[in-house]
Amino acid sequence: MSKCIWLTGLSGSGKTTIANLLAAQYKDQGQLTCVLDGDQIRLGLNKDLGFTQSERHENARRVAEVAKILVDLKILVIVALISPFSDDRHKARALFIPGQFIEVFIDTSLNSCINRDVKGLYTRQKKGLVKNMTGISSPYEIPINPDIHLRTDTTDAIQCCEIIKKYINI
């Protein structure tokens, strides 16, 4: 099964947690998987990019192109990327044949993300150390018609993975 599962949502919404758990579950079933996590990608492939709007577009474009290559190699790719702009997510989908790209909106309130603050970004933003913070000083365009809409305020990561797997197996 080669697909791209594209998890989008604010920082701290649970994208990486769900991506890693889902990848482990599929790996246990013998499926080749690859997680493309936004933070990890920015340490290597996209370390030359900042957080301006144009750089965010380029970040999403590069991740989508890598995901396409991996899907073509029959790998299940799970992307955990804020990808704040709907146009970038539409362009990513357009790279794949119908049914290969699954957009998953990891919907969590900004307050929950701030309270989780797993990476300390919101704390640093409040101190003026982070500019262009998605959802605060930089826009996040909520997906209008995602394939899957998960609310991690009320659904835990294991349940989220089950919902995604059920959707994929339909």
Return the ∠ at Cα 118 (arms to 123 and 26), rounded to 5°: 155
> How far is 165 from 159, CA to CA, in rounded Å?
10
The pLDDT tens digits of the residues spanning 120-146 come to: 666 666 776 667 767 667 789 999 999
Write out residues in the chain with pLDDT < 70, as ranges: 1, 120-125, 128-130, 133, 135-136, 170
- Catalytic residue, from 54, 83, 86, 112: name it: 83
137 catalytic per annotation: no
Task: Give the CA count within 13 Å in the CB-facing half-sphere of 94.
Answer: 8
- Residue 138: the pLDDT is 79
Calculate the average pLDDT of the chain: 90
> How far is 45 from 42, CA to CA, in rounded Å?
6
The pLDDT tens digits of the residues spanning 29-51 come to: 999 999 999 989 999 999 999 88
| Cβ proximity of 155 and 110 under 8 Å | no
User: H helices of the chain, where?
Assistant: 15-28, 38-41, 53-72, 86-94, 110-116, 121-126, 157-168
The DSSP H or E segment spanning 52 is none
Q: Give me the domains of the chain, ranges plus CATH numbers.
A: 4-109+139-168 (3.40.50.300)
Phi-psi region of 106 (alpha: psi -120 to 50; beta: other; left: phi over 0): beta
Place of tokens 């990608």: 41
